[in-house]
Structure 1
Amino acid sequence: MKKIFILAIGLFIATAANAQDGIKFGVKGGLNIANIIKDDGNNDFDTESKLGFNAGLTVEIPLIAGLAFTPEVLYAQKGYKQTSSFGEFTRTTSFIDVPILASFRLGSSFNIVAGPQVSFLLSTKNKFENDFGSVEQTIDEESDRFKKSLVGGVVGFRYDINPKFDIHGRYALDFQKNNEDGSTNTPEFRNQVFSVGVGVKF
């Protein structure tokens, strides 16, 4: 996993280093509203959204008028909540997301962004709470219970307040399931995340 993360960072830097004039580096951060889409398997339960955050680096590389290549490397929290008569269960999954996005400018400030995304699993934490207390569990990232990388897609918008600051929103969905053999402990699902945030360019 560490090697994959280093490779993702390397590709990000290499892309930026070979870009044409007009490149803009940036940082971004925001709020994630995460949940899951259940697939086949042992999935007889209802889920609720959970809050998390995202933060990372961005590059904007102009291609032609109105079109830019905008790859990112982000730390992102995902997961879901489940409430029952026994208490509340929360699963938090931490990923390195690498969206490979195109940005289409509509007007002077509004942009549509879309493209594929590869997500690399860092850790999974479970928490169970009820009136008697709480219990937490961290699952080893090297365990075979979960896929270590997932391919998905992103679509959203960015509004440029000025050349340096923006606000943005997007929806991301995994195209692959977290595992292929759902069980009581590890049901099959795909992550979905709505996010809003701010960005700063240099």
Structure 2
Amino acid sequence: MKKLLIIALLSFGLMPLAHAQFGIKGGLNVAEMTGRDGESASYKPFYHVGIFYQANILGPLSIQPEVQYSVAGGNLKSAFTNYDSELHYLTVPILAKLTVGPVFVEAGPQYGILLSANQSGTMQVGFTDKGTPAYGNQSRAASSEFKSSDFSVVGGVGLKLASGFSLGGRLVAGLNDINDAKNLSGINDPRLQNRVFQVYAALRFGGRK
């Protein structure tokens, strides 16, 4: 984590030495959490906003570190439960970007720091006197049920438009288990991983348009 943040800071600091463009971006997240046995996952719409700094390295190749506020999560459903999870992250993607004409492709790692989380819907709330699970509707803070960080890989494509605007789409695939909850019987629940499809618009300032 520290190495990735240091690389991002160095990249931002060295940008004035190269052909660089600063920009702002934002758009739609369509997210789910995968990997839990016995519960089916489905996508939920969220959002992301952020800033980026793009520096040319050689010809059409550039590097683009970003800082984003990004919301992930999704819906999990079983025979007895049906609830949404909403995870708020500060994410730091560091992307290699190849631009040919108006078209670009981008890929790289992303580190996310969990800022907050909440869950709402029908979930297990305890046990009955007979020892069977009890379910009910709840809306609760859930930061303690998720790990404080998330590491992902990012890949995407986009199109540069006039006046510094661009449009793009990405897949952000989580690599590590983000689940940090124990179920009410004290046994660790199975793995959970983030998966987010992003569609965004960006506006660049400075350098070539």
Instruction: For residue 80 of structure 1, report the CA deviation from its aligned partner.
Output: 1.1
Maintained 8 Å contact 2:29/2:197 = yes
Q: Are 2:24 and 1:27 equivalent residues in the alignment?
A: yes
Instruction: For residue 146 of structure 1, report the CA deviation from its aligned partner.
Output: 2.5
Query: Which runs of structure 2 are paired with 1:43-192 in the superposition (5 Å)?
Result: 43-83=37-77, 88-106=82-100, 108-128=101-121, 135-139=138-142, 141=143, 143=144, 145-162=145-162, 164-179=164-179, 183-184=182-183, 187-192=190-195
Structure showing greater Rg:
2
Residues 187, 127 of structure 1: CA spacing in aligned structure 2 closer, same or farther, 3 A cutoff?
farther
Instruction: For residue 82 of structure 1, report the CA deviation from its aligned partner.
Output: 2.8
TM-score, length basis structure 1:
0.82
Deviant stretches of 4+, over 3 Å:
10-14, 83-88, 181-187
Long gaps (5+) in structure 2:
123-135
Long gaps (5+) in structure 1:
none
Q: Residue 47 of structure 1: SS of its match in structure 2?
A: strand
Percent identity between matched residues is 26
RMSD: 2.6
Instruction: For residue 169 of structure 1, report the CA deviation from its aligned partner.
Output: 0.1
Q: Are 2:204 and 1:201 equivalent residues in the alignment?
A: yes
Instruction: For residue 137 of structure 1, report the CA deviation from its aligned partner.
Output: 0.6
Deviation digits for residues 37-72 of structure 1 (CA, Å, limit 9, x no counterpart): 206xxx211111001000001010100100000011
Q: Residue 162 of structure 2: SS of its match in structure 1?
A: coil
Q: Are 2:12 and 1:16 equivalent residues in the alignment?
A: yes
Structure 1 CA distance for aligned equivalents of residues 76 and 192 of structure 2: 14
Q: Residue 188 of structure 1: SS of its match in structure 2?
A: coil
| Matched letter for residue 126 of structure 1 | Q
Instruction: For residue 85 of structure 1, report the CA deviation from its aligned partner.
Output: 6.3
TM-score, length basis structure 2:
0.79
Deviation digits for residues 62-104 of structure 1 (CA, Å, limit 9, x no counterpart): 0010000001111111111134566741100111111110001
